[in-house]
Chains A and B, each alone.
Chain A
Amino acid sequence: MTARSSASTASSAAVTEHADRGPLSTDELAAVIGRDIPPGSYVNLGIGQPTKIADHLPASEDGLPGVILHTENGMLGMGPAAHGDDIDPDLTNAGKVPVTELPGAAYFHHADAFAMMRGGHLDVCVLGAFQVAANGDLANWSTGKPGAIPAVGGAMDLAIGAKDVYVMMTLFAKDGSPKIVPSCTYPLTGVGCVSRAYTDHATFDIQPDGVHVLETWGITLAELRERLSVDLIG
């Protein structure tokens, strides 16, 4: 019994604090996430900020992509954005931006694109978020404001489908309120689905026993505890 509790203490790694610098820029945050995506994974990057992670994915040695990007509109092996003569109106990403195809790419229809998510074939997806709750609930599709036009796209399918759901967001909203919350006040996208939250100030691992802080930037763990109303393990 004693051995078990001491093992548990030993396994909780110390939080790496980078208090001597400011928070991460969007590109730096994208690089942090890219570093954590295992080579060989099948990955969906949500529209908006997560698309920047494509520039920071593990490289391959044989000319093939190190990570296979999935796009909900029917493609595996998506390449970088297309420019100039490479623009093809029949080849776009989920944000409807023209993209390119990499060697080994495959096309399929929409029902297959989403079967890949729900069926548990996709290793990682990275989504933006308004709020993430301590139990992994995700709110990223609606602020619930009256009069707003609801639009969900593929967010709910991705949230419950990918084996690991990572969130990429700023830790604080423009009004200073934290986006890691005890429970979401915005309408939910998925229940208990987020495993990691990557933010400009800190990265969080969301486990059944609570929210673990992995690394901080421009803020200490003690300061983080003061600003968030969520119990933090670290």
Chain B
Amino acid sequence: MESVDEAVAGIEDSSTVLIGGFGLAGMPSELVDGLIRHGAKDLTIVSNNAGNGEVGLAALLKAGQVRKILCSFPRQADSYVFDELYRAGKIELEVVPQGNLAERMRAAGAGIGGFYCPTAVGTPLAEGKETREIDGRTYVLEYPIKADYALVSAYRADTLGNVVYRKTARNFGPVMATAARTTIVQVNEVVPAGTLDPESVVTPSIYVDRIVRVDARKYTVEGAR
């Protein structure tokens, strides 16, 4: 894709959109900014956090485009945009243990209809869910999280859509890329197909639908000294 706006074109109202990143590392900020300009509404967002400051996901929330968010850790020192919307009853929240969030998307991408997981057994987050004892241990039935779109930030892609990541900015990217009908990846560099080491490819091109190049991030990490 030539531009971010072109990359996010066609995202329909009421879509479920996966947004990568753990805090700001791996957050596809440019694609999210593009989604804000695009204006799709009533979105269901799946992301680990619920936005930082007023950039990226937080800006999308502030723009009033999100109906519901699934995440593991919405409350952070700088998540005030989400906090205000939540307290005002303007956004729905489903808190999911972080590993279940990842595994539920992995299951969606792998065609698994559901799985029994030991996480959260006996806690409020398993209330009302089906449980089963297997080999003497209790497990909770968890369902996949399927999505219409995934917005992922990575380091480098080839022109076919093979993707490599950088350090802990990889986080949810490879899993989200498998779980959406349309996966959109922003990278800092696009190289000709055939120049990436095939052994080092993390997300193979079969999972990737659109690639757009953006400049490397310049933000600082929260808590950085």
A109 and B170 contact, Cβ closer than 8 Å, known pairs A97-B223, A149-B75, A152-B95: yes
B43 at the interface (CB under 8 A from A): no
**Digit string of B73-86 for contact with A (CB within 8 Å is 1, else 0)?**
11100000001001
B222 at the interface (CB under 8 A from A): yes
Pair B168/A91 contact, Cβ less than 8 Å? yes
Q: How far is the CA of A71 from the CA of B96 in the complex (A)?
A: 19
Pair B173/A89 contact, Cβ less than 8 Å? no
A89 and B24 contact, Cβ closer than 8 Å, known pairs A95-B223, A109-B170: yes
A114 vs chain B, min Cβ distance (A)? 3
A88 at the interface (CB under 8 A from B): yes
Pair B172/A109 contact, Cβ less than 8 Å? yes
Which residues on A are within 8 Å of B, measured CB to CB? Answer: 71-75, 81, 83, 87-92, 95-98, 101, 107-111, 113-115, 117-118, 137, 142, 147, 149-157, 160-161, 187-191
Q: How many interface residues does B have (CB within 8 Å)?
A: 55
A74 and B99 contact, Cβ closer than 8 Å, known pairs A98-B221, A109-B175, A160-B121: no
Q: Contacts of B167 on A, CB cut-off 8 Å?
A: 75, 88, 90-91, 101, 107
Q: Contacts of B169 on A, CB cut-off 8 Å?
A: 89-91
Q: Contacts of A98 on B, CB cut-off 8 Å?
A: 221, 223-224
Q: Contacts of A110 on B, CB cut-off 8 Å?
A: 22, 48, 98-99, 101-102, 171-172, 175
B129 vs chain A, min Cβ distance (A)? 13
A211 vs chain B, min Cβ distance (A)? 19
Closest to B95 in A: A150
B86 vs chain A, min Cβ distance (A)? 6
A151 and B223 contact, Cβ closer than 8 Å, known pairs A96-B25, A108-B170, A156-B97: no
Q: How far is the CA of A91 from the CA of B83 in the complex (A)?
A: 27
B-side interface mostly: loop
A114 and B72 contact, Cβ closer than 8 Å, known pairs A74-B170, A188-B122: no
Residues of chain B in range 23-50 having any CB-CB distance to chain A below 8 Å: 23-26, 48
B60 vs chain A, min Cβ distance (A)? 18
Given A151-B72, A157-B97, output 14 extra A-B contacts at Cβ < 8 Å: A88-B167, A89-B24, A89-B25, A90-B155, A90-B166, A107-B170, A109-B171, A109-B175, A110-B102, A114-B99, A149-B86, A151-B75, A151-B95, A153-B97
Pair A107/B123 contact, Cβ less than 8 Å? no
Q: How far is the CA of A150 from the CA of B224 in the complex (A)?
A: 25
Q: Can you list 26 A-B pairs with a CB-CB distance of less than 8 A? A: A73-B168, A87-B220, A87-B221, A87-B224, A88-B167, A89-B221, A90-B167, A91-B167, A92-B23, A98-B223, A98-B224, A107-B167, A109-B102, A109-B171, A109-B173, A109-B175, A111-B174, A113-B99, A150-B93, A151-B74, A152-B95, A152-B96, A156-B99, A156-B125, A188-B122, A189-B123
Pair A149/B83 contact, Cβ less than 8 Å? yes
Q: Contacts of B156 on A, CB cut-off 8 Å?
A: none
